[in-house]
Amino acid sequence: MYEVSRTAGTAMVLTGLSCLCTGLIAILAMHVPGDTRSDGAYRLTRIMAVFGGACGLVAALSGVPYHWMVGDISEHMFLAVEGGLLVLVAVFAVVAAALLPHGKPRSR
C-alpha cells in the first residue's frame, strides 16, 4: 500500500505540472489570431486535471490505511479521515463529471 500511495502521489505531482504547462499553452494559443490549437490544449488540460485529482485521491485513500496498519494513527482517526475522504470522492465525482467533455466535439 505504501508503494501505491507514493506512486499515485508522484503521478499527481507530475500530472499537475503537465496540466499547468498545457494550460499555459492554451492561454498563449488563444491570443494568436487564427490558431485553433487552444481548444485542444484546453480540453487536454481539463482531462489531465481530473486524472491528477484522481491520482491524489488514490494516494490519500491508500496512504491512510497503511499508516493505520503500521500503528502510526489510531482507529478512530483512521475512520474519521477515511470518512472525510469518501465524502471528498463523492464531491470530486460531481466536479469531474462537469469538467470532462460531453458528446461529440462540435465541428467548425
- pLDDT tens-digit series, residues 30-44: 888 888 888 888 889
- Tell me, rounded to whole angstroms, the distance of Cα 63 from its chain centroid: 16
For the stretch 14-24, pLDDT in tens is: 999 999 999 99
Q: Which domain holds residue 92?
A: 2-99
- Considering the domain boundaries, does residue 27 fall inside one? yes
Torsion of CA 24, 101, 8, 92, to 10 degrees: 110
Q: Is the separation of the CB atoms in 57 and 89 below 8 Å? A: yes
Q: Which residue has the cell 460531481?
A: 94
- Considering the domain boundaries, does residue 29 fall inside one? yes
- Considering the domain boundaries, does residue 90 fall inside one? yes
- Considering the domain boundaries, does residue 53 fall inside one? yes
pTM of the model: 0.79
Confidence of residue 84 (pLDDT cuts 50, 70, 90): very high
Confidence of residue 104 (pLDDT cuts 50, 70, 90): low
Between CA 60 and CA 99 the distance in angstroms is: 22
How many domains is the chain partitioned into structurally? 1
- Considering the domain boundaries, does residue 108 fall inside one? no
- Considering the domain boundaries, does residue 81 fall inside one? yes
